[in-house]
Amino acid sequence: MPLSGIEIYKLLPKSNCKECKFPTCLAFAMKLAQKQAELSACPYVSEEAKQALDAAARPPIRLVTVGANPKSFQVGNEVVLFRHEKTFYHPTALVVRVSDSDSADSIANRVKEATTYTVERVGHNMGLQGIAIQNKSGDKAAFARCAQQVQSLTDLPLMLMASDPGTMEAALEKAAAQKPLLYAATRDNWQPMAALAKKYQCPVAICEPGGLQPLSDLTEQVSKTGVEDIVLDPGVRDFNGSLVSLTQIRRLALKSNFRPLGYPVITFPSEAASSLEEEALLAGQQIAKYASIVVLDHFSPEMVYPLLTLRMNIYTDPQKPIQVTPGVYPFGNPKPTSPLLVTTNFSLTYFSVAGEVESSGFPSWLMVTDTEGLSVLTSWAAGKFDAPKIAKTVKEFKISEMVSHQSLILPGAVAVLRGELEEELSGWKVMVGPRDAVDIGSYLKRSWTS
């Protein structure tokens, strides 16, 4: 269990010597509790304290790395059931599955598509995390060949899916350097699978559909062989079953500190879906409710884009609201004569303004000022959304080259900035817009004539 700041403080020297670069031992302890500092920064902690802190810091859900440099992803190490309690740390990895029974061409296409897919959202690039290769052919050589082919086409981490250890090893001989995830150790093959995981130093998934007790038992057995990087597949596929078993696994790990189930979980939404849309919806549920790796059987941008967006939403740190990249955003093909509105880069502010501008029907420019993620009034009060800052942004993004009218619309809540802003931006006309974003549409209708 993690310790509170005061509990950690009691273990520190209490000399307030500041060598850790914090003003007091308590300040340092509080940062440690928030995982924003390293214990090693204090040269004076006792051995005893170190041990106590290490034990408390041991993650209840193991952090597992799939893949090797330069491309790999990490999952697990989550500490809460609900994102508001802290944050979800390691976004669900979305993996696309190909089958060794498909034609080499179609495999190549799918792999290339998945590898190159990237989509931008509020200044962040999102993409997929890996390729899973299913041994559907039942043929060892075909599987190995497929693994080799995929490996040559992508640098995304791989997941090898075969139930026969011999087949698995055949592929591993080609792809082991990339540290693929092995799927899966089962009650029938766990010994040789565990041996492979150990020999090739790869993470392994354990699949046991018989319930959490048998899954836990199997995991214990595998981990006793010295394999530590484990991913769980409780084998339950449908909406409700998946929700329930993933919730229980997460609760057991976090609330009961139950080690045998303290591992990330993998799901296969398509196996319970009757359509692509349903696969997307189930994948969506699993992104929010506790899957660390989701294997998709279909890949289409209109399905992946909403899922990546959902993942971004859910894995945003609620303590650190996501910031929109400052800049000028066009809405509906604006012209140099279109209105220019100004706002801050707090995502919620941006979204409400953007939503209203979008639905106002007026093609417009929206200039987002860097207020370090604060809303209009908060940033104004903190001196981060003032006339010099706005003027600087106007100059930085060369806005006078984009709009011909040299006027901008200020949020109504900071009408006081108008005079000063007109001084800072000589030749510009500063208009005061509405206080609430919902009134943007009617404001533009009323006041935008040029």
Partner 1 sequence: MPAVELPVQKWPGRIHEVTLGGNGRKKVVVGGEATLPFLHFEGAIPHRPAIAIEVHDRNPAEWAENLRQVWGSALKSPAAWAKKASELGADLIALRLSSAHPENGNTGAEAAKKNVAQVLEAVDLPVIVLGPEVAEKDNEVLMAAAEAARGQRLAIGDCMEKNYRTIAAACIANGHVAIGKTPIEINLAKQLNILISDVGVSRDAILMDPTTGALGYGLEYSYSVMERLRLAGLQGDAMTAMPMICTVGEEAWRQKEARVSEGVPTTWGQAKERAILWEGITAISLLEAGADIVVLRHPRSVELARATIDKLMAGAGQRSA
Partner 2 sequence: MSTPSPSSKNFKVAFLPSHQEVEVPIGTTLQEAADRNGISIDLPCGGQGRCGRCRVKVEKGQVSQEDNPHLTPRQREQGWVLSCQAQVASDLVVTVPPPRERARAETSTSRAAATVRLEWPLEPAVRRATLEIPPPTLEDNTSDLERLERAAKEALGIAGLEVSLPLLRELPQALRQGEWRVTAILEGAAGDRARLVDILPGEVKGPLWGMAVDIGTTNVVVYLADMSSGHLRDSASAPNSQASCGEDVISRIIYSLRPEGLKHLQELVIQTLNELLSELAVRNGLATTEIYDMVMAGNTTMSHLFLGIPPRHIREEPYAPAATRFPPTQARELGININPNASVTCLPSVAAYVGGDITSGVVSSGLYKKKELTLFMDVGTNGEIVLGGDDWLMTDACSAGPAFEGAGIASGMRAIKGATEDVRIHSKTLEPTLKVIGDVKPLGICGSGLISALAEMRVTGVVDRAGKINLSYIREAMGKRCRAREGEHGKEFVLAWASESGTGEDIVLSEVDINNLLRAKGAIYAGITIMLRHAGVSPQDINEVLIGGSFGRHIDVEEAIQTGLLPDLPWERFKYLGNTSALGAFQALLSRQARAAIKEVAGRMTYLELIADNSFMEEFTAAAFLPHTDMDRFPSMKNLLREAS
In sequence order, what are the beta bridge partners of 420? none
Shortest reach from residue 165's CB to ligand SF4, in Å: 51
The verdict on 12 binding ligand SF4 (CB under 6 A) reads: yes
Judged by beta carbon, residue 259 or residue 384, the one nearer partner 2 is 384
Scanning 5-13, 134-142, 163-171, 216-224 for contacts with partner 2 by CB under 8 A, the matching segment is: 5-13
Nearest to 440 by CA among 358, 371, 324: 358
Scanning 22-30, 92-100, 243-251, 382-390 for contacts with partner 1 by CB under 8 A, the matching segment is: 243-251
Q: How far apart are CA 31 and CA 28, in angstroms?
A: 5
Asked if 253 and 61 touch (Cβ cutoff 8 Å), the reply is yes
In sequence order, what are the beta bridge partners of 67? 72
Among 355, 381, 419, 423, binds partner 1 (CB under 8 A): 355
Asked if 409 and 435 touch (Cβ cutoff 8 Å), the reply is no
Shortest reach from residue 2's CB to ligand SF4, in Å: 18
Nearest to 231 by CA among 242, 241, 219: 219
Asked if 234 and 268 touch (Cβ cutoff 8 Å), the reply is no
Shortest reach from residue 154's CB to partner 1, in Å: 17
The verdict on 448 binding partner 1 (CB under 8 A) reads: no
Among 8, 11, 20, 322, binds ligand SF4 (CB under 6 A): 20
The verdict on 415 binding partner 1 (CB under 8 A) reads: no
DSSP string, 90-114: SPPEEEEEEETTS-HHHHHHHHHHH
109-129 residues labelled b (16+ CB within 10 A) or e (exposed):
ebbeebbebeeeebeeebebb
Scanning 103-111, 138-146, 191-199, 311-319 for contacts with partner 1 by CB under 8 A, the matching segment is: 311-319
Scanning 113-121, 154-162, 260-268, 415-423 for contacts with partner 2 by CB under 8 A, the matching segment is: 415-423
Which one of partner 2, ligand SF4, partner 1, none interacts with residue 422, CB within 5 to 8 A by kind?
Answer: none
Q: How far apart are CA 30 and CA 6, in angstroms?
A: 7
Nearest to 374 by CA among 401, 402, 407, 349: 349
In sequence order, what are the beta bridge partners of 126? 119
Which one of partner 2, partner 1, ligand SF4, none interacts with residue 266, CB within 5 to 8 A by kind?
Answer: none
Site for ligand SF4 in 136-195 (CB under 6 A): none
Judged by beta carbon, residue 52 or residue 108, the one nearer ligand SF4 is 52
Shortest reach from residue 22's CB to ligand SF4, in Å: 6
Judged by beta carbon, residue 102 or residue 422, the one nearer partner 2 is 422
Q: Is 278 left (phi over 0), alpha (psi -120 to 50) or beta?
A: alpha
Asked if 42 and 49 touch (Cβ cutoff 8 Å), the reply is no
Scanning 11-19, 109-117, 232-240, 275-283 for contacts with ligand SF4 by CB under 6 A, the matching segment is: 11-19
Site for ligand SF4 in 227-266 (CB under 6 A): none
The verdict on 376 binding partner 1 (CB under 8 A) reads: no
Which one of partner 1, ligand SF4, partner 2, none interacts with residue 383, CB within 5 to 8 A by kind?
Answer: partner 2
**Residue 300 buriedness (CB in 10 A; 0-12 / 13-18 / 19+):** exposed
The verdict on 313 binding partner 1 (CB under 8 A) reads: yes
H helical segments located in 140-238:
140-153, 165-175, 190-200, 212-224
Judged by beta carbon, residue 60 or residue 260, the one nearer partner 1 is 260
Which one of ligand SF4, partner 1, partner 2, none interacts with residue 42, CB within 5 to 8 A by kind?
Answer: ligand SF4
**DSSP structure class, residue 27:** H
Shortest reach from residue 123's CB to partner 1, in Å: 13
Q: How far apart are CA 127 and CA 398, in angstroms?
A: 31
Scanning 22-30, 278-286, 352-360, 415-423 for contacts with ligand SF4 by CB under 6 A, the matching segment is: 22-30
Shortest reach from residue 53's CB to ligand SF4, in Å: 12
The verdict on 28 binding ligand SF4 (CB under 6 A) reads: yes
Asked if 3 and 33 touch (Cβ cutoff 8 Å), the reply is yes
Among 4, 15, 51, 337, binds ligand SF4 (CB under 6 A): 15
The verdict on 318 binding partner 2 (CB under 8 A) reads: yes
Shortest reach from residue 320's CB to ligand SF4, in Å: 25
Q: How far apart are CA 417 and CA 343, in angstroms?
A: 13
Q: How far apart are CA 443 and CA 29, in angstroms?
A: 51
Among 2, 24, 139, 163, binds partner 2 (CB under 8 A): 24
Using CB under 6 A, list all residues that contact ligand SF4.
12-13, 15-20, 22, 25, 28, 42, 44
